[in-house]
Amino acid sequence: MIKPRSETVFYCHSAVDLQNWLPVQKYLKPIALVSDKAHTRKELRELGYQVRALPVFPKAVIMCRVAAHKFPSRKVIKIGMTHGAYHFKRFPKAENYNLFKLYLFTSDRDLANAIRLGVMCGQVGGYPKLDPYLNAKGIGTGLAEKKKVLFTATYDSSGMSAVHLWLERLPELAAKYDIYVSLHPWMSKEVKEKIAYMPGIRYVQDTPLPSISSVDVCVVDSSSVIGDICALDKAMISWVLPPSERDVPEITKILEQCSIRVSCFEELEAALERAISNPDEHAQARHKANQIFFDQLDGRAGERSASHIIKLLPELKL
C-alpha cells in the first residue's frame, strides 16, 4: 500500500526567505526546511537550522517565492508568500502565480494589481517580516556623536541599482557619519567584497531591517526595502536612475513624494543634512505609501498569514 503524503515543507530559495517566514512559523506546528541550493543549505546549517535537499515529495509546500515549478506534481498543495513588501519590480506572469492554491500578498492594492494581471489564487496576508520591529524601539549602535546612515542597493545586474554611484566614494562619508551598508543577495561578489573590506563601513549584508530601526537616514535605489523604511517611518534619500524595462512607474512616483531625490554623489551630503535636520519632512507621504504597501502595520501579519494557511492545512494548527 502506498502511504498518503502528509508532510508540509517550507522551500527556502535563499536564507533571506526566513525573514518573512519565521514570524508565520511561530503560529504553526514545526515545518521542515528544504532547498535545492547547496549554498543555501550550507548557510542555513551554519545558522543552526536543519534543512534537506530536494527532491522531496510532500503533501504541501510553502515558499516566499514565485517558484511553484520546483514541485511540479499537481498533487502537491502549493502556498506562496512574498519575500519583500509589495512589488517594486514588474510582476511575474500570472500563470506563475496560478500554479499555487494560495498566494499571500502584502496589501489590498498589491492583491488588486495581481488580480488585474489574471492572478486567481490571491489573498491578503500582510508582511510578517516587519512584525518583530513594529513595536520595538531601535537599539542605538556606533558612535553617539555621529548620525547613522544606511545605504541599500538592489543587485547590480538588474539595471535598477545605484550602487555604482556611491560604492567607490563611500569612505568619504565615514569620518562624518556612521555608515551601514546592506546589499541584495544577488549583488556581484566583487561589490560585496569591496564593501566587506572597506574601512569604517559596517556591512550588514542582506539584513537591513535591524539597521533601519536604529539609523537616522536610509539611502535607497529601487528595492522593496523602501517599504520597510516607510513602515518604520525613517527619513529617506533616493537616487534618480535612468529608465529600466522593469521599472514600476507607481514606485517612482511614490519615491518622488516620500524621499529626497538625488542624481549624483555630489548632491548627497546636502541631502543627508536636510534629512537629518528635518526627519519628518516626508512623514505624511510615507504614511500614504504604507497604505499602499501594507494592510495593517500592527505586528500581527504572521498570525493572519498563518490563519490563511490553516484553512487549507488544518493539521498545522497549534
Cis omega (within 30 of 0) for bond into 132: no
Please check whether residues 22 and 44 belong to one and the same domain.
yes
Judge whether residue 248 has pLDDT over 90.
no
Q: Mapping DSSP to helix (H, G, I), strand (E, B) and coil, where does residue 272 land?
A: helix
Mean pLDDT of 274-291: 96
Residue 159 included in any domain: yes
Please check whether residues 102 and 189 belong to one and the same domain.
no
140 band by pLDDT with thresholds 50, 70 and 90: very low
CATH code, domain carrying 102: 3.40.50.11720
Residue 72 included in any domain: yes
The per-residue pLDDT for 3 is 65
- The domain tally of the chain equals 2
Judge whether residue 247 has pLDDT over 50.
yes
The per-residue pLDDT for 158 is 85
Residue 1 included in any domain: no
The per-residue pLDDT for 156 is 87
Owning domain of residue 56: 8-132+299-316
Cell numbers representing residue 113 in the block: 494589481
Q: Which residue has the cell 494581471?
A: 117
For helices 249-258 and 283-293, the axis angle rounded to 10 degrees is: 150
In this predicted model, which residue has the larger pLDDT, 159 or 237? 237
The per-residue pLDDT for 185 is 86
Please check whether residues 210 and 155 belong to one and the same domain.
yes
Please check whether residues 120 and 162 belong to one and the same domain.
no
122 vs 102: CA distance, rounded Å: 6
Mean pLDDT of 114-143: 82
Q: Which residues contact 154 (CB under 8 A, 6 or more apart)?
A: 160, 161, 184, 187, 221, 222, 223
The per-residue pLDDT for 141 is 43
Question: DSSP alpha helices (H): ranges in 33-176?
Answer: 38-46, 94-97, 108-116, 131-134, 163-166, 171-174
Mean pLDDT of 174-179: 94
Please check whether residues 154 and 80 belong to one and the same domain.
no
Residue 29 included in any domain: yes
Q: Please, are residues 88 and 267 in contact by the beta-carbon 8 Å criterion? A: no
Please check whether residues 185 and 109 belong to one and the same domain.
no
44 band by pLDDT with thresholds 50, 70 and 90: very high
Which tens digits make up the pLDDT trace of 197-226?
A: 999 999 998 888 889 999 999 999 988 899
191 band by pLDDT with thresholds 50, 70 and 90: very high
Judge whether residue 137 has pLDDT over 70.
no
| Summary mean pLDDT of the chain | 92
178 vs 49: CA distance, rounded Å: 33
Please check whether residues 244 and 194 belong to one and the same domain.
yes
The per-residue pLDDT for 238 is 97
Residue 2 included in any domain: no
- CA distances (Å), 190 to each of 164, 194, 219, 250, in order? 12, 6, 21, 32
Kindly calculate the radius of gyration of the chain based on its CA atoms and give it in whole angstroms. 20
Residue 3 included in any domain: no
Residue 273 included in any domain: yes
Choice among 25-34, 83-92, 181-190, 309-318 with the minimum mean pLDDT: 83-92
Which tens digits make up the pLDDT trace of 89-126?
A: 677 789 999 999 999 999 999 999 999 999 999 999 99
Judge whether residue 72 has pLDDT over 80.
yes
The per-residue pLDDT for 138 is 47
Please check whether residues 230 and 160 belong to one and the same domain.
yes
The per-residue pLDDT for 269 is 95
Which tens digits make up the pLDDT trace of 3-21?
A: 678 899 999 999 999 999 9
21: part of which helix (H) or strand (E)? helix 18-25
Please check whether residues 146 and 263 belong to one and the same domain.
yes
CATH code, domain carrying 284: 3.40.50.2000
Residue 169 included in any domain: yes
139 band by pLDDT with thresholds 50, 70 and 90: very low
Q: Please, are residues 106 and 130 in contact by the beta-carbon 8 Å criterion? A: no
Please check whether residues 146 and 258 belong to one and the same domain.
yes
Please check whether residues 190 and 306 belong to one and the same domain.
no
Which tens digits make up the pLDDT trace of 249-274?
A: 888 899 999 999 999 999 999 999 99
Please check whether residues 171 and 243 belong to one and the same domain.
yes
Judge whether residue 47 has pLDDT over 90.
yes
61 vs 45: CA distance, rounded Å: 20
The per-residue pLDDT for 2 is 57
